Chain A
Amino acid sequence: MAVAREFEYFRPETLEHSISLLGEYGENARVLAGGTDMALKIKQGVETPKAVVDIKGISELERLESTDNGLHLGALVTFSQVMASGLVAANFPLLRDAAATVGSVGIRNRATLVGSLCSAVPSLDIGPALLVHEAVVLTRSAGGTRKTGINKWFTGPKQCALEPGELVTGIVVPLPPGKAGGCYVKRGRYAGKDPAQAGVGILAMEKNDYRVAFCAVGPVAKRAPSIETCLHGQELTDPLIKAAQALVPQEISPITDIRASKAYRTLIIKVMLERGLKTAVSRLKGKPSAHGAIWI
């Protein structure tokens, strides 16, 4: 078994206490939520904190509730909770569908959405869904609170806009302006758990308004503005899809790695875009369509 470097363990029960600990230990402190990422890194020696601040004792971070115009997901909300939530199912099925593609039950029971945003790997499955829903990340530090639009959150591979001494308290996901149909399309090497080799999240809204976001085909998960502009205001037709697909190369910068080649990522992301768009639109139109993400 792997053996971690020594650290001191804290389990604060208030936000204030956790933030003061982060301030006190500065660079040497690490926040621990579900630990599916952090515990592994500590065991492997990739992270060697002196202080581990476990935030699971802070009950106010557990909130999963609707707000005036959307949904509040506290920093401790796990993927399993999102999948089981009636609130999410009713208004944000895309979030649920994307959450269901993350790892397996034993991971999702522990892993938080916020932890996923903070680990900020390019392949994070929840990225596209939060991007197209234009979620806002709520952070807090000794200096006060801050809101960051999700499109500004990811700053590089495994890098995000979190500042030293800052804690994410939750995510706010606004309701789409009207009716919407969503679809997450994930490419994995198989149907079992696998990090995405490409992911597309789509939200089709009334008046032919579309939002499109990608993960795992560039250094960060991101929206695809040129594709959205191309689609905007138009009925989804095969020629329109072709036009959108033609814009894919300028929106992505995939690499070749052990999981997939650049050529293959480029090939399938277009197929994924097409299938995602069609499914999202049919869901918008209320066509009976099996819920769930599409695996490619």
Chain B
Amino acid sequence: MEAMEELKFVGKPTPRIDQQEKVLGAARYVDDLDFGPNLLHAQVVESSLAHARIKKIDTSEAEKLPGVVKVVTGKDFPYHFGLYMQDRHIFAQDKVRFAGEQVAAVIARDLATAKRAAKRVKIIYEPLPAILDPREAVKKDATLIHPELGAYSHVPWFFPKPGSNIAHWRKVRKGDTIQGFAEADLIFADTYRVPRYAHCSIELHGAIGLCDHSGRITVWAASQSPHTQRHIFAQALAPLGFTHQNLRVITPYVGGGFGGKAGVTMEILAAALPTLVKGYPIKIHWTREQEFYNTYQRPALVGTLKMGVKKDGTITAFDYLIHWDAGAYVEYGANVVNASGLSATGPYRIPNVRIDALCVYTNLPPGGPYRGFGYPELLFGVESHTTRMAQQLGMDVVAFKRKNAIREGDKLPYGAPMTPNGLTECIDRVVKTIEWGKKEEHSDPNKAIGKGFAIFWKAPAMPPNAASSAFLKFNEDASVNLLISAVEIGQGVLTAMAQIAAEILTVPPEKIRVESPDTDRNPYEWQTVASHVAWGTGNAVKRAAIDAREQIFEAVHHACFLEKDALYLEDEAVKCRTQPGFALLLKEIVINGIMVEDGTYRGGPIMGRGTFMPRFTSAMGDPDTGQGGHPCVHYTVGAAALTLEVDKQTGRMKVLKAVEAIDAGKAINPQIVKDQICGGLLQGLGTVLYEDMRFDESGKLLNPNFTDYKLPTAMDIPDEVIPIIVETPQADGPFGARGIAEHPTIPAAPMVANAVCDAVGVRVKSMPVTAEKVGLALAAGQTEVE
């Protein structure tokens, strides 16, 4: 409806409302909060082994150190926790399952003492075989990492295989792949590998917990999920008598998340430890090293992909077997496997599909959500493979992909129809901008130029009832406090939500303060993940604003005897279509109400509320085929291409130009959308060109630092990035919007691999695609790198 009318605030590049605070040094993050002289510090004692039985923990030497308040071990907290599957403990119990896992913690008056004491905690282990490779882990006689798997509670859409290391097996069976391959003129299979990656938000994980003398717990956390954290804390600490009512989570500004601060990782300690030392706030803050090995990591995979195509380029069959190295605990990571597994075909129309996505326990740190939620990993294989198949057919790569690109109404791998999308428009605009097909020569004979192209999609991965809500209240000057529990992790949610409320209320965004979450005061939000808040929270905010507007109209109707239908808001005033001269300024009425003839008042403080629950999603698919459910609310699609320079002697690469188009439905703030594209694209380019986590044969991380885990710097950006916004409205989105924040990362890896191949004829089938791999292959005359 609104989309028809002229929009005043939505769709405009409104300046970010958090920018002054961030640029002038006013923004406060969790580590910036002060807690007074009673603040205690906790230091964890970590497992030195990747897999071992704990024989004995001796804390006596640590306890003797002056300044130590308490030493805590698994005995103090024998409780499970987890988001989708409760396979974790607050501290390791009888076993450790990854190097770096917390086995104990020292609480002390200062950090130096805590660290010193932690070194004195003696742990005796009995080593167990450590399994680092998911394909080893699924072998018949492999050591079981979780022999108790059958006893863990989990969401109904997971299918663990007790007695094995398979924590979840997502199967998709659509059509008949045997028939599909029989119809194909060309069948081609290959294996692709993706290693683990780290989020590397510049802000580290940190949390402070206080259990006050009345027994109420407050946790201040750098978190993407305050309400979900409260819920998980309540579940984990239920045996101690804690419930949601006596738990509170407060989240100030968050210095980057990328999935790493979703769910609960180290924050569980900030909830649990204070219960043993009432009245004292306890701070626990990770170092950069711990950030690498004891939060979520992006899981690794080995995927074998087989596709069948006809001569005319029609894809007839698709078979993808994926072994995910999901780590020691998969309480969140199993849903990465699940959600991406359901859509592992990529954005293609394929009649016959078989997908086996195995979530496999290994003795590496827990895998979990990372911007893209499995799609970048899976599409590295898919978008490399479809490119190779087009080439084998002698077909133009773009023509091949465009021909098979999924359209609205096509059947998805799990049977439901594809949602509205502008995939072909994205393809066409990218192709035009990158000048696809135009071969470029380098002036330096040692260098070659290639182009790479990829298409992508991603749906929000969330439970079918992932709800959002919003609450807004007016102040005397008609400014607004908007209370939500979506977290500003950099993506611009505060500004976008202010724009949505502004559009309905005609109050400019700069007069709207959007408050960061406090679970005591701000209404419920599931989590700030899945690129769902623009859509879900946006809907809730819009409803809250409409609710407030209705209250205003109601008051005016009673006080001024005007028909509600004739009333409208304009420039912070109530106006009436039937009485052109009528205008009541909001600031005169939104708190104090409207005086009527006898001197009494109507109306009063205006407070709007809005909730949003996805209407048609369900997780009720068949376990053996994936058919029948409606697990995804919608898909955001896009296309991207780049021009890459490759040094033929050294393999060194440089991105000359990158173009990425994403269908945002409606860009609430086009500048923020473009900035998401630029930032996300570089994060994706980092994963393919420079970054990866390296472990030694004992499962210890070798590069938990920025010296050897190479985050792109300002010197490592493409010469030119061209973001393109496509807008195919999302029927149930606020003003037609859907999320776009994770998506820009997705095409980076395959398009680099494709461009390298185009430039120098080397196909790299494993990430990262480093200069070293390309350079060595070129020197050896190899055309493929495993």
Contact = CB atoms under 8 A, between A and B. Distances in A.
| A–B proximity contact (CB within 8 A) | yes
Interface of A: 1-3, 104, 187, 189-195, 258-261, 263-264, 267-268, 271, 295-296
Given A192-B713, A271-B650, A3 B776 contact: no
B20 interface: no
Given A192-B710, A271-B649, 10 more contacts: A1-B287, A190-B690, A190-B712, A191-B713, A192-B715, A192-B716, A195-B707, A263-B776, A296-B647, A296-B652
A271 B694 CA distance: 27
Contacts of A3: 111-112, 115
A258 B708 contact: yes
A194 B710 contact: yes
B433 interface: no
B423 to A, nearest CB: 32
Contacts of B710: 189-190, 192, 194
Contacts, number: 56
B136 interface: no
Contacts of A194: 710
Contacts of B779: 267
A84 B750 CA distance: 42
Nearest to B652: A296
B209 to A, nearest CB: 19
A258 B650 contact: no
A267 B702 CA distance: 24
B772 A264 contact: yes
Nearest to A192: B713
Contacts of B715: 190-192
Given A190-B689, A190-B690, A268-B650, A258 B713 contact: no
A261 B287 contact: no
Interface in B274-292: 287
Interface in B671-719: 689-690, 694, 702-703, 707-708, 710, 712-716
B775 interface: yes
B771 interface: yes
Contact of B772 (A191, A195, A261): A261
A259 B649 CA distance: 18
B770 interface: yes
A295 B775 CA distance: 15
A224 B707 CA distance: 28
A258 B770 contact: no
B744 to A, nearest CB: 20
Contacts of B708: 258-259
Contact of A192 (B647, B714, B772): B714
13 contacts: A3-B115, A190-B689, A190-B715, A192-B716, A259-B708, A260-B772, A261-B772, A267-B650, A267-B775, A267-B779, A268-B775, A271-B649, A271-B650
Given A189-B690, A271-B650, A264 B776 contact: yes
Interface residues on B, range: 20 to 34
Contacts of B714: 192
Nearest to A104: B713
A40 B287 CA distance: 14
A64 B707 CA distance: 31
Contact of B771 (A2, A189, A263): A189
B649 A192 contact: no
B62 to A, nearest CB: 16
Contacts of B770: 189
Given A2-B287, A258-B708, A296-B652, A190 B772 contact: no
Contacts of B702: 258
A156 B712 CA distance: 32
A1 B111 contact: yes
Contact of A190 (B649, B694, B716): B716
B108 to A, nearest CB: 12
A260 B710 CA distance: 13
A81 B689 CA distance: 33
A260 B647 CA distance: 17
Contact of B713 (A190, A195, A260, A261): A190
Nearest to A189: B710
Contacts of B716: 190-192
Nearest to B694: A258
A191 B717 CA distance: 9
Contacts of B112: 3
Contacts of B650: 187, 267-268, 271, 296
Contacts of A189: 690, 710, 770-771
Contacts of A195: 707
Nearest to B653: A190
A193 B708 CA distance: 11
Contacts of B713: 104, 190-193
A68 to B, nearest CB: 39
A264 B771 CA distance: 9
B705 to A, nearest CB: 11
A97 to B, nearest CB: 16
A271 B775 CA distance: 11
A192 B649 CA distance: 21
A268 B775 CA distance: 8
A2 B712 CA distance: 25
Interface string B647-676: 101101000000000000000000000000
Nearest to B707: A195
Contacts of B111: 1, 3
A258 B713 CA distance: 20
